[in-house]
Amino acid sequence: MLDKSVPHISVIMVNHDATHYPEYALPEGYSFRFYADGLEEDWCRLQLETGQVPSLESIRTRFNTEFGNKKEKLAERCVFVQSPDGEIIGTAMLWDGDTFGEMESRIHWVAVLDSHGGKGIAKALLTKILSLNKNDFVYLTSQTGSYQAIYLYQKFGFQKYIEKTPKNWKTTDFQQGNEKAWQIIENKIAEYKA
């Protein structure tokens, strides 16, 4: 779950050796499935229930805008995790993003329900998503409140991006905000690990 007690500041993580990563399997009884028509509502519900969006309406609009005409691509790059009782409890995508000015692979919209946390599902989901990737470079965007996820991403070789402002970054104070964000994240990870 997103920690909303810390200021919300977006960050970028990069991995320049993304074809090498730890491999984890799903717990027994859980299974992967790729996007198929009808799973839009499950995807939207996961984003809402994990605290990543303010409302179901806003994420439905976002889904339709960003992915509505890319169903074939979703079927190859959007993965869901199904629990033993058939509930969709997690999702992630390997998508394209132009944050750095040209299309690059990115890990996108990762969500796992807290009620299934601590079982290694997020690790298995990242393993699955990275297995779809064929490029050395992959990036992701996250935020200060997702420091537990950031700690996991670090285990998969992602590092904080602290270089110049990316070409298509949406905020104007990237450098200042980035420095503050990583201080918050590193402090919270240290508390989390303690």
For residue range 39-79, list pLDDT tens digits in order. 999 999 999 999 889 999 999 999 999 999 999 999 999 99
Which amino acid is it at 82? Q
pLDDT band at 185 (very low <50, low <70, confident <90, very high): very high
Cβ atoms of 43 and 91 closer than 8 Å: yes
User: Across the beta sheet with 78-82, what order do the strands follow?
Assistant: 31-34, 78-82, 88-97, 104-112, 138-143, 10-15, 159-160
Report the pLDDT value the prediction gives residue 171, as an integer from 0 to 100.
80
Averaged over 143-168, what is the pLDDT?
A: 96
At 101-133, the pLDDT tens digits run 999 999 999 999 999 999 999 999 999 999 999
Report the pLDDT value the prediction gives residue 2, as an integer from 0 to 100.
83
Averaged over 149-165, what is the pLDDT?
A: 96
Average pLDDT, the chain: 95
Beta bridge mates, 97 = 104
Distance, in Å, from the CA atom of 94 to the CA atom of 73, rounded to the nearest integer, reads 10
Distance, in Å, from the CA atom of 44 to the CA atom of 22, rounded to the nearest integer, reads 28
Q: What is the DSSP letter of 36?
A: -
Take residue 105 and report the two structure tokens written for it: 């692979």
Averaged over 133-146, what is the pLDDT?
A: 96
pLDDT band at 173 (very low <50, low <70, confident <90, very high): confident
Report the pLDDT value the prediction gives residue 193, as an integer from 0 to 100.
83
Above pLDDT 90, what percent of the chain?
Answer: 91
Beta bridge mates, 106 = 95, 139
Which amino acid is it at 167? K
Report the pLDDT value the prediction gives residue 194, as an integer from 0 to 100.
76
**63: enclosing H helix or E strand:** helix 56-67
Cβ atoms of 41 and 173 closer than 8 Å: no
Averaged over 134-145, what is the pLDDT?
A: 96
Helices H / strands E in the chain, number of each: 6, 7
Take residue 137 and report the two structure tokens written for it: 């470079």
CA-nearest of 100, 119, 92 to 29 is 119
- For 158-177, b/e burial (b = at least 16 CB within 10 A) is bebbeeeebeebeeeebeeb
Distance, in Å, from the CA atom of 142 to the CA atom of 90, rounded to the nearest integer, reads 17
The CATH architecture one would assign to domain 10-193 is: 3-Layer(aba) Sandwich (3.40)
Tally Cβ neighbours within 10 Å of residue 140: 26
